[in-house]
A and B are shown apart, each in its own frame.
Chain A
Amino acid sequence: MVLGSDTRAEFGSLWSLYEWVMIVTTAIVFGTVLFAAWRYRSRRGHAPSAKSEANVAELVYTLILVVVVAVLVTRTFTTENRVDAIASNVKQHVEVTAFKWGWRFTYPGSGVSVVGDDQRRPTLHLPVDEPIVFVEHSRDVVHSFWVPALRFKRDAWPDDETEFELTVDRAGVYAGRCGEFCGLHHADMNFTVVAESRERFERWLRAQ
């Protein structure tokens, strides 16, 4: 059985590894360049070195780089496997239809469908703490479903459906928007995510 994954938490833990590697690398390179520039500045009584290669050092350095690549790729792959997996224990499905310039969110089996556009922003109600499977497609050009707070986006295609799964780990109101340029009103192709407890979500669903 495949369990749902918390995309935001997965992103956070992978990001912190990358962030750490980036900061250390930046410190090493900035430090080395600035030190070399200062230490080896042209001055009286200082002749440039005649050495033109250091193959052993370069080989060792290359191996270090290979190890860094291996670590980053391994962590990326394991994280991606969890993020891309579609859970098998899913209660909630949502169909997302993107169009110029708005969204339709349909809750299969309930007959509920929410639609809005660049003039009237639609709201996407979601239950928290459970995996939700989205099936997404577009009615015209390529759009992209992006909720920055959930650290996830997925393109909507006119010729095919794509499927993804998200879990919202805490209740709240989040901004959602189109992440792929889609023409004149791309900047206004927004939506609002309202994440709430299962009970409140059910109550909202019944009230529609």
Chain B
Amino acid sequence: MADDDKSQIIVAPNMLRAKVGDKPGPDIDQLVASATAALDELKQDFEIWIRDDLKSLRDSVAAMHVATDPAALEHIKRYAHEIKGQGSTYGYPLLTDAGDLLYRFISTDTEIAAQNLNLIDVHVDFMALVLNQEIHDHGDALAQGVLTGLRNAAKKALGAAAAPASPTRSTG
């Protein structure tokens, strides 16, 4: 990453700093509380959006069961990634964990993933269960056990050397 000897440093005036000025902002805790309240107001929408994403994910898996289709697999990967990115924001950290595992499984080896649609089904079923049971935290030992089971099954399918890493712990 070393910038070579002929690097040119460009220091532009920070117009943004001048635009913002020195006016103090709200307390950070107050700001977080306000944003959390704003997100809570979207909660009803979140439920609809996340269910839409899960339905799209399930439709793509169903398409893969009919015929192997790289585009459908790409859709599955994309929706898994979306659910990973949004699950915790929507109040479902377990969806983030499961989405992360599914995304990593497919990303590691698409061919093996395409041959293990039943394992993808189990990921999707688990996500649906989390939604239907409205599990808004990291779940109990059973839920964590399912995640461990999914991780181990992916590891077995992929071979130990290429196993996906542990899921990123979501922080909201």
**Do the two chains belong together in a single complex?**
no
Q: Which residues of B contact A (CB under 8 A)?
A: none
